[in-house]
A and B are shown apart, each in its own frame.
Chain A
Amino acid sequence: MSKTVATIPIKENDSQYYAGQYGPLQNTSGVNQTVFSFPDLNTTLISNYDDLGTSTQVRSTGNFTAHLLATATTLPSTSNQIPVGNIIVTNTTNNTIQLKNIQGSAIPNNQFIFLQLTDVAIGENYGSYSVLSLNDIINNFIVAYTGQDKILTRIKRADVLFHARRAIQEFSYDTIPSTKSMETTVPNTLNVPLPKDYVNYIRLSWADVDGVLRTIYPLSGLSGNPTEIPVVDANGVPTQDAFGSNLESSGSIIEQRWDTANQNTLSGNYDPYNNNGVYDHVWWKQAYGQRYGLEPELAQSNGYFSVNERLGTFSFSGNVANKIIMISYISDGLSYDLDSIVPKMLEEAMYSKIMSNIITPRNDVDGNTKAFYKRDAYVKTRNAKIRLSNLKLGEIVQIFRGQAKWIKR
């Protein structure tokens, strides 16, 4: 997923934004035209091919189709679509494409080209005005906060880049709401690789038949995933191979036992064939349903997960096997592009954070000024957190309606 960033002021017209359509653009050059630009789009065009000569497909993530229209009112359809192998993007800065100079691809004089973004690309562009790019933040900061007559008269651009990127990392951890999540199925091995840009998890949950998410809880010391499993001799001393390195076992016994553990013994769930300490009505009529020694923390049947550092995976308890799970996690905002997106609600906090972090190590700024900007950054970060928490009066009122419900004791 790669969200786009809208320009200020907005350049896209309604059909470009809502329908992802650009054109039709007429060829008035008098000859066949093979090069067209679509500069108003927020979306950066991606073609499946990079070379018109080799006809070798290099990716499958192309995000548009182009159509050759005989008239301005001809409807774009598969019949007039230009084959994707006959289009390459030659300039991503202003979305220039080049068409193969053959019939059915090159646009004849007075005919039209029409561009249609894919549904995914349209979706990525929706809401693009709510964010701005980190490069915008950096450039704005340099313009507004540095230079002659400003507190940062002389500053290296590398310092601004460093602190801006550090700021977006820090904000990604605890201020920007997590937008990263992955749906997957837990295999019988009970291990799911950590996502490529994983930094920490927010919540892991499995979906029941109604799609309701059930929180899977962290292991919290109940079992464990050893990072090393050396093969030991009868005296407990690790054994080595011919190259002097410790021999490692192929699998952890602790993990094997945990994978096959009976969760009912932990949760206290009643099982007529294995009472696990729960007093059932057959034998203990006076204490029906009671269970002594129950840990409320463990009295859940949604399962457990742990981060298995040895395998680089999420490891799950046996009762989550084959379930559909959703992994919500945080990244640091810089995983795929140094020019990541920043919510506009965070813009002011970003400036203050960069400012504070830049002047803190400087020896030409007095302590009071440093303290002022540190406080300023703290206040604006707090404001940004409140804004991004998305607390709406109407929603809170609805939650408060729960006060009328009687809680049975």
Chain B
Amino acid sequence: MAINVNTVYTTVLAVLNKEQRGYLTPYEFNSLAVQVQLEIFEKYFEDLNVMLRNPSNNTEYADRVKTLEEKINTFETSAAVTVTLSGEFGQYNFSAQSPAVHRFGMLEYTNGSLLPVEVEKVPKHEFLLTRRSQLTAPTQDYPICYIEGTTINILPGIASVASVNGSPAQVYNLEYVKKPADPSWAFTVGTVGQYLYDSGNSVNFEISDLDQSELILKILAYAGVVVRDPEVTQAAAGAAAQIEQSQIS
């Protein structure tokens, strides 16, 4: 579930304004919000890597792997893509994919009414090696691909085709992780020049609300730098570190 951007901004302001320490403008807040959301988002993948190596449990709410996977699932998306033939390869360029591809997940290929099969992504070197063996050479049942820049090269080269008169449709589906949308605290200017929250034009944080405390503390740590108050930075960074520690220990 998303985190309301106004809740975060008002909380940050409440902490900063205590004892008249300083003020964080919406422009400054929005820049810090983008930065911190990305930091927390990227940490999901690193944390998952660590958690997968630890003994797991089977509880409903305390399984860290499950929790992290749920956090990441929010950003998993898929889209039907059109593969075209280029020489012997099927090719798809995902540079214009919307929402943009942040982490490539999997390319699925479906031949007519058969069950979809994964187009296994391998490094280019392995791609070449795999082709050399007659026993492992890519087939329609077991296609492979490698990525060069933003282009996926697929073998065997089969282009996307719609079904005509019952002929098998050739369909590709790209599964990937998108980047969270940039949060934004939008405002209008009030009668006395004050900033008024504009919920209609604001963008909430997309990361899990389980990370709300960490999000606020990290923004506060950066805010301390902005308002030149090391005490705030120190206290917020300490608290954020404590949360992180408890999450991975």
Contacts and interface: CB of A to CB of B under 8 A. Distances in A.
B112 interface: yes
A156 interface: yes
B168 interface: yes
A158 B113 contact: no
A339 B111 contact: no
Contacts of B133: 158, 162
Interface stretch (B26-34, B139-147, B210-218): B139-147
B141 A162 contact: no
B167 interface: yes
Size category, A interface: 20 to 34
Interface in A293-352: 334, 338-339
A93 interface: yes
Interface in B20-69: 52, 56
For A35, A92, A157, A165, the residue with the greatest tally of chain B CB atoms inside 10 Å of its CB is A157
Contact of B165 (A34, A157, A161): A34
B167 A91 contact: yes
12 contacts: A36-B166, A37-B166, A90-B165, A91-B113, A91-B163, A91-B168, A93-B113, A158-B122, A158-B126, A161-B136, A162-B133, A162-B135
Given A93-B112, A148-B52, A161 B142 contact: yes
Given A91-B168, A93-B114, A97-B166, A165 B141 contact: no
Contacts of B175: none
Query: Nearest 10 A-B pairs (CB), nearest first?
Result: A96-B166, A93-B112, A94-B113, A158-B136, A90-B166, A90-B167, A35-B166, A165-B135, A91-B168, A158-B130
A135 B136 contact: no
B120 interface: yes
Tell me the interface secondary structure of chain A in the complex.
mixed
Interface residues of B, number: 24
Contacts of B122: 156, 158
Contact of A157 (B111, B114, B120, B135): B120
B165 A98 contact: yes
A161 B144 CA distance: 12
Interface in A114-160: 135, 138, 148-149, 156-158
A148 B53 CA distance: 10
Nearest to B169: A91
Given A91-B112, A156-B122, A161-B135, A98 B166 contact: yes
Given A91-B112, A94-B113, A157-B120, A166 B166 contact: no
Given A94-B113, A98-B165, A158-B122, A339 B141 contact: yes
A239 B138 CA distance: 48
Nearest to A34: B165
Nearest to B110: A93
Contacts of B52: 148
A39 interface: yes
A50 to B, nearest CB: 11
Contact of A93 (B136, B164, B168): B168
Contacts of A98: 165-166
A334 B136 CA distance: 12
Contacts of B126: 156, 158
Given A156-B122, A161-B135, A91 B166 contact: yes
Contacts of A37: 166
Interface string A23-67: 000000000001111010000000000000000000000000000
